[in-house]
Structure 1
């Protein structure tokens, strides 16, 4: 499902590289319980738009994967970076971020990687340097 609503917040943010592109992974709370039920993932590298993330998922997933399965792949990569430090650039315990309007939102049928939904779009994160968000050399293309 596409979304015309942008969103800004302050939460834990993980910044990681995948296939040469730098992405941000934040959490968003839908209510006062603050359980981080929404995963926010988007590219931070200048010139890269959010559909590239879904192209990566389609390329790396199975050919008949559903949108929900592709969203799970995206969330798995972000969670891998957060938990394992794979291709980690930096982590913030509490940082401001902004998700631009026009991304994609997927609601999971059951909680997946501790999230009920994944929202993707073009993302900005406060306090990052141009070097941190610059595209990285990679052996793999997706």
Structure 2
């Protein structure tokens, strides 16, 4: 589902690199329980746009994968960076972030990686330096 709404928040944020592009992974709460039921993922590297994330998922996923499976691939990569530290650049416990309007939202049929939804779009995270968001050398390109 496409989104015409932007979103801003303060939450845990993981910043990680994947195929040379730097991404942010934040959580958003839809109610007062603050369980982080929405995963927010987007590129932070200047010039990288959110459709690039879905292109990566399409290239790395099964050829017949549908939108939900592609969203699960995206969330798996973000969760991997959060949990394992793979390609993690930095991590904040409480940091401001903003998701620009125009991204894509996918609701999972059942909770996946502790999240009910994935929202992607162009993302900015407060407090990052140009060096932290700069494109990285990558062995593999997608």
TM-score, structure 2 length as denominator?
1.00
1:117 and 2:117 aligned: yes
Q: What are structure 1's unaligned runs of at least 5 residues?
A: none
Aligned to 2:65: 65
Q: How does 1:59-138 map to 2 (within 5 A)?
A: 59-138=59-138
State the distance in 2 between where 1:118 and 1:80 align. 15
Aligned to 1:44: 44
Aligned to 2:6: 6
Deviations 1:100-122 (A, max 9, x none): 00000000000000000000000
Task: Tell me how many residue pairs correspond in the alignment.
Answer: 142
How far 1:139 moved relative to its partner? 1.2
Q: Which consecutive segments of 4 or more residues in structure 1 shift more than 2 A?
A: none
State the distance in 2 between where 1:124 and 1:4 align. 17
Deviations 1:36-57 (A, max 9, x none): 0000000000000000000000
1:16 and 2:2 aligned: no
Tell me how large the CA RMSD over aligned residues is: 0.2
State the distance in 2 between where 1:65 and 1:98 align. 29
Deviations 1:41-75 (A, max 9, x none): 00000000000000000000010000000000000
State the distance in 2 between where 1:77 and 1:37 align. 17
State the distance in 2 between where 1:141 and 1:104 align. 23
TM-score, structure 1 length as denominator?
1.00
